[in-house]
Amino acid sequence: MQLLKYIQAQGFGSRKQCQWLIDNDCIEINGEIRNRAKDDINPAEVSSLVVDGEAVVAVPMPYFYILLNKPADYETSHKPQHYPSVFSLFPDHMRNIEMQAVGRLDADTTGVLLITNDGQFNHRVTSPKHKVAKLYHVTLKHAAEQSLCDTLKNGVLLHDDNETVRATEAVLENPHTLLMTITEGKYHQVKRMVAAAGNRVEHLHRDRFGDWDTQNLAAGEWKFIDIS
């Protein structure tokens, strides 16, 4: 990939702006100033990137996969209405790079959120056909008994949805804490299922999405992951 294309793809502005950065010795890759726009860059070999004197995150190209431990009060949207966007948690230049969340978490839901620029991957893992397991840690308003788990596993009819949905796993950790796994990603699915089963979600945290968990990331922290 040409240096100019690489710097543009990293979100450092228009072709003209990136050309200026290159011409003015503002791009340092792996400790070396790179000032020839047509030089070939192998993104996989970039271990450090400094732009205009500032060490910045080098985003893997052409595809990248991010695991974010979503904090509460952030919206999974590029056009948030009430809270800041989850995309505002990334450094400035990354906000110029096209990326999408893999499914959505409600503003008040915390935990594992994947973000990628790989549309095929996104489609694959969010499609109900592929039955990717999502594990939620649910704090319940009312003390629950085993019967709640049975109801969720047997299936509940969601209001306005005319379709029965089931939890593939549901285990009570204590009367107010439920661990629940689902394989679809319908709108407010966990909250609606718990409501349909006669309880109420006080707080929701996604512990795991497929093979990925928050891996000791604090709320708001993120990292690139390898999906192979």
The residues that touch ligand URA, with contacts defined as CB under 6 A, are 105-106, 109, 188-191, 204
Pairing state between β 54-56 and 156-157: unpaired
Judged by beta carbon, residue 17 or residue 164, the one nearer ligand URA is 164
The one-letter amino acid code at 197 reads A
Judged by beta carbon, residue 27 or residue 193, the one nearer ligand URA is 193
Judged by beta carbon, residue 106 or residue 118, the one nearer ligand URA is 106
Residue 207 annotated as catalytic: no
CB of 206 to ligand URA, least distance (A): 7
| Given 106, 108, 207, 213, the catalytic residue | 106
Structure tokens at 133: 């397991």
CB of 186 to ligand URA, least distance (A): 8
CB of 16 to ligand URA, least distance (A): 41
Judged by beta carbon, residue 5 or residue 208, the one nearer ligand URA is 208
Alpha-carbon distance of 136 to 63, in angstroms, equals 27
The length of the chain is: 228
Distances (CA, A) of 155 to 54, 60, 152, 193, 197: 53, 41, 5, 9, 9
Q: Which residues contact 67 (CB under 8 A, 6 or more apart)?
A: 112, 113, 114, 212, 214, 215, 217, 222, 223, 224, 225
CB of 167 to ligand URA, least distance (A): 11
Provide the annotated active-site residues.
106
